[in-house]
A and B are shown apart, each in its own frame.
Chain A
Amino acid sequence: MKKHSILIISITLIVLAAATSIALFDHTHHDENARFNAKETIFDHLVDHYSWEVPFSHSHHIPLPIIVQDYEGGWHCFMSSRLSHGEMHEGFRIGTEEDGFDGKVVGTKPNGEVYRPLDISITKNVAALLITVIVVCLCLFPLVRWYKNNGTKSPRGIVGAIEMLTCMIYDDVIKSILGPVKGARFAPYLLTAFYFIFISNLMGLMVIFPAGANLTGNLAITMVLAICTFLAVNIFGTKEYWKEIFWPDVPMFLKCPLPIMPFIEIFGVFTKPIALMVRLFANMMGGHMIVLVLLSLIFIFKEMGGVAVAGGTTVLSVGFSLFMYIIDTLVSYIQAYVFTMLSTIFISLAQVEHHHE
């Protein structure tokens, strides 16, 4: 009985996913003559946008506010719906490939020169960011409320799961690496980073509004997270940490005439956060990309062999991409965990104390 229901659910999911994928790629063949461009479609789904698609529809978009500063320093704020279909508004439009700013808001100077204004628009990713923050708060504040009402009594259900996750990170990662005193000091940042990454990873996997933005697969997001870890490492680094960077305990010739070791150490200070940034970005973006490529196969094969081939490929592709989705769900957790764990390790490496006999 249970086996059957699992099978039925799986089949339903595959069919649903197939339907969704067809809906997602729907816009690519409005025009029967236009050929399906896999690369364009895939990158279109990975990059940021000024509006958010309404679920299962490519013709309707949820407009988001555009906030730009023109070359004269004046601020402009309007909804992205004003710029749809290449329209111009207040001297701004969506750039094309000829401008060199494909898909970005560009301004035109009176002399006809196209420029990129200072752009702090609430894009799809920024909106997703805000939603992620709200979801993180919705996850954590019930736990806080539970503790305030019930003391140390153990919570049940989702709140209990959140607590278990928190304990797992706090006890097994933060406290075991940094020790109880320093662990409690750095835990707020590390746990915030963990929950932010974990929630936005998962939200990135849910394909429709209000989720589905490729947030942690965006270099800007991971860069800021890496910079935060970099600051936490270096601002709270001990004297011993700095001494080991600029004057490490190595033979004199390695640091005196030519500062080889200090150079390597300083290089290491920067490579650590860069590694964090790239790892998270590449993992999440890669996961999205594989799913998109697998789904694109359907349309590539359809162009090659018609509907029958596409039908066969659909089942296969959707099966594979479902599998990838499941792996990505795992990766979502693993990457959040790894980011937190490496941040904790980097912080603990900067907390070295003088220990000479």
Chain B
Amino acid sequence: MELFMPEAGLVFWMFVVFVVLFAILAKFAWPVIIKMVDERADLIDKGVEYAEAAKASLENSENQARAILAEANQRQLEILQEAAQMKAQIIEEAKKAAAEEAKKLTDAAAISIEQSRKEAELQFRQEVSQFALTIAENIIRKELAGDTAQAEIVEQLLNELEHKN
């Protein structure tokens, strides 16, 4: 069966041709191709790695930005609060100061009123006593014309004193 008998001539040529093909390709083709294929694989790996790193760093910076923003918001809130507090405090202080001032003024006014009242009272008393004295003098001068009347008055005065005590 010819089909199943390897022909010596063909074996010979196949061997020669295949070895030559192998030599040519191994010398000129495969080193270049394999080197480039490996290099490309490395390049792709590196690219993927780089992209992942970039993505991570992007996420990181986004987070950072968000954190900064949050912090800024917090600060703003704090400042606003502080300002509000300060405002309230200032108003409070001003109110207090005003109240104090007013009190001082009223106190001073009260003192001066009291003083003038006392003075007026004193004056009034002096005047009243003056008047009383004058009246009394006049009355006494008039009354002391009779003895009985004198005695009556003395009696009356004495009774009054007794009642008072």
Interface residues of A (CB under 8 A from B): 43, 46-48, 102-103, 118-123, 125-126, 129-130, 133, 136-137, 140-141, 143-144, 147-148, 151-152, 154, 163, 166-167, 170-171, 180, 184, 187-189, 191-192, 195-196, 218-221, 223-225, 227-228, 285
Contact = CB atoms under 8 A, between A and B. Distances in A.
Interface string B1-15: 011111111111111
Nearest to B2: A47
By secondary structure, the B interface counts as helix
Given A126-B13, A152-B36, A166-B37, A187 B30 contact: yes
B2 to A, nearest CB: 5
13 contacts: A46-B3, A119-B8, A123-B7, A126-B17, A133-B17, A141-B28, A152-B43, A192-B25, A196-B21, A219-B4, A220-B10, A221-B10, A221-B14
A184 B39 CA distance: 13
A46, A187, A225, most chain B CB atoms within 10 A: A187
Contacts of B11: 220, 223-224
A126 B3 contact: no
Contacts of B30: 187-188, 191-192
A152 B36 CA distance: 6
A313 B38 CA distance: 53
Contacts of B22: 188-189, 192, 228
Contact of A224 (B2, B18, B34): B18
A143 B15 contact: no
Contacts of A140: 25, 29, 33
Contacts of A103: 2
B43 A184 contact: no
Given A218-B10, A220-B10, A130 B33 contact: no
B24 interface: yes
Contacts, number: 121
A223 B17 contact: no
A227 B5 CA distance: 16
Interface of B: 2-15, 17-18, 20-22, 24-26, 28-34, 36-41, 43
Contacts of B2: 43, 47, 102-103
Given A121-B9, A223-B11, 5 more contacts: A122-B13, A152-B43, A154-B40, A188-B22, A192-B18
State the 5 A-B residue pairs at the shortest beta-carbon distance, nearest first: A220-B6, A220-B10, A188-B26, A188-B30, A224-B14
A95 to B, nearest CB: 11
A163 B26 CA distance: 16
Nearest to A103: B2
A121, A192, A228, most chain B CB atoms within 10 A: A192
Given A133-B21, A192-B26, A147 B13 contact: no
A224 to B, nearest CB: 4
A171 B18 contact: no
B17 A130 contact: yes
Given A187-B34, A188-B30, A152 B13 contact: no
B15 to A, nearest CB: 5
A144 B28 contact: yes
B8 A167 contact: no
A143 B33 contact: yes
B33 to A, nearest CB: 6
B18 A225 contact: yes
